[in-house]
Amino acid sequence: MNNSQKDQQMKEEIIKKKQEKDIFIIAHYYQRGEIQDVADFVGDSYAMALAARDSQSKNILVAGVDFMAETAAILCPDKTILSPEPAATCPMANSITAEHIRQYRELHPDTLVVTYVNTPAEVKAVSDVCVTSSNAEKIIRALPSDKNIYFVPDQNLARNIARGLDREIEAFDSSCPIHAVVSRDEIIKLKALHPEALVLVHPECDPEVVHLADYAGSTAGILKKVVETDAKAFIIGTESGIFHAIRQQCPDKQLILASEALLCPNMKSITLHKILYSIDNMETVITVPQDIACQAVVALEKMIELAS
């Protein structure tokens, strides 16, 4: 039996067993294509959070990095949340700590702390509101204009939003190591090779890159743009996993990756084998301490309220 046949056999086994055990699988667009194929829902971090919250299943398996599973656990205290690879994490999310925010608040008591959902639960617990790349601009626009804003932990997203809103935003000094590799020079070079292609990038990219783009938005926003636009070629500045979802809906469109480095090793660490093991053994169960969850859910629910 070749690898393709083994993968197909595992897919069929996963689909059968998840139904038997009432397990709802949610996956991020950055997952491997075969992982997306066995998921009940595929989306960006915001859509994943809503899908977990609204699921009728008693068990949810999160094919994504650790903060995504934590978010599901916070929003779904009555459900069992499984992670097929608890070691899958986000370097940017881990760059900020709750203690840093507490110390910042002591010096700036009147500043609103706006926290990217790409953060540990303890950080969300000491924040005023959470945001994702798909709703950050809308939420910050809704915040009182006379309040200063401290945005953690993605400085590129903060800078891009600040420019779009013409509003001053103080940002924590950190960025996504994957999106940050996309350079202005790479975009210019690719645009010269493919002058007909539209440039679509994630707002975690450097502002210089975003300035050159035809569109900057969340992963879901990039997918929507490709589907709804008549253009036939696109230079894509986000993690390569999105190509799977785009090709499913637009097999005739040409996709050019903005950088070969747009591959997240943590997202790609999840495999069919790990998902099958997780289902068979109901491991690993993700929990968040109740005191932290009770505080973090306030910031998450505030996000959902302001983004609706």
Q: pTM of the entire structure?
A: 0.95
CATH 3.40.50.10800 residue ranges of the chain are 3-88+267-289, 93-176+292-307, 179-257
Is residue 65 within 8 A of residue 19, CB to CB? The reply is no
124-146 residue pLDDT tens: 999 999 999 999 999 999 999 99
The one-letter code for the residue type at 105 is R
Say which CATH class 3-88+267-289 falls into.
alpha beta
What's the whole-number average pLDDT of the chain? 97
The CATH number of 179-257 is which of 3.40.50.1010, 3.40.50.10800, 3.40.50.150, 3.40.640.10?
A: 3.40.50.10800
**231 burial via Cβ count (<10 Å: 0-12, 13-18, 19+):** middle
Structure tokens at 102: 């507490």
Report which of 225, 222, 202, 201 is spatially closest to residue 213, judged by C-alpha positions: 201
pLDDT for 217: 97
pLDDT for 185: 98
CATH superfamily of 93-176+292-307: NadA-like (3.40.50.10800)
Q: Give residue 1's pLDDT band: very low, low, confident or very high (50, 70, 90).
A: low
